[in-house]
Amino acid sequence: MLFVDLNCDLAESYGLFKIGNDKEVLKHITSANIACGYHGGDHNVMMETVKMAKAYGVKIGAHPGFPDLHGFGRREMKVSNEEIYNMTVYQIGALVAIAKACGTKVNHVKPHGALYNMAAKDEGIAEAIAKAVADVDPSLVLFGLAGSSLVKAGMERGLSVAQEVFADRSYQPDGSLTPRSQSNAMIHDSELAISRVVRMVREGKVEAVDGTDIAIKADTVCIHGDEPQALDFAVALKGALKAEGIEVGRGFDAK
């Protein structure tokens, strides 16, 4: 039986600003990445989202990012690896406390935005994040871009890792995501995106922007919660996977 996890970045609203449709999306995913107040989210939104995730039986994870509300955490910041370690520990800790107050627990960690992309290529940043996760709780699963430095750093730390693929993003020939600054970064055709996910899970391959196939491991698929079509896409993807005989679930938890 083939398994694949469906994860979504949630709890990114804050104050009077609402982003996404968390309540409905939660009904169709298996892992929720909870923003921890740096790139988005606040204490109220975190608490509410954790309660909803618990009610729907969705595993929760910390989604630490750079302290950049205006840029939604998608702008690179030049900070030391020590500071990256500190901010990652801080954000995981905030969610751990909220989860405990809600009678549940944090299961995984997935960095956000620019921090995620930098960790995919920079071994020092990847190691700082992996160390932060291991120091807070070595039982946490670390989510990272498939085949990236972050995945490697997590494995070297003895962490369980989930290699992540993206349904709505195009890939470069080296396995990295196409930068959002480029016009072909996003895949807006839902049917195409779904067919790519099915192939990544079944065949372990995805077509890069230059037309070549690259090898890829798909433990978990990201659905972007801030996209307007996130709910419809989650429903369609889940249905398509089921039709292909692919079970939606966290197969990596059994490793």
Domain spanning 2-254, CATH class: alpha beta
Query: Nearest-CA neighbor of 60 among 25, 96, 85?
Result: 96
| DSSP 3-state of 114 | helix
Beta bridge partners of 186: 169
pLDDT at 255: 52
- Rounded CA-CA distance 109/128 in Å is 13
Tokens of residue 32, six digits: 């929720």
**Predicted local confidence at residue 180, as pLDDT:** 87
- The total number of residues written for the chain in this structure: 255
Question: What are the residue ranges spanned by the domains of the chain?
Answer: 2-254
Average pLDDT over residues 200-211: 96
* Mean pLDDT to the nearest integer, 136-163: 98
Whether 82 has a pLDDT exceeding 90, the answer reads yes
CA distance 157 to 45: 32
Per residue in 29-58, pLDDT tens? 999 999 999 999 999 999 999 999 999 999
Cα end-to-end distance, the chain, whole Å: 15
Q: What is the DSSP string of 77-100?
A: ----HHHHHHHHHHHHHHHHHHHH
To which residue do tokens 């509300």 refer? 69
Residue owning tokens 């299961």: 107
Contact 223, 230 (CB under 8 A): yes
Range 156-162 average pLDDT:
97
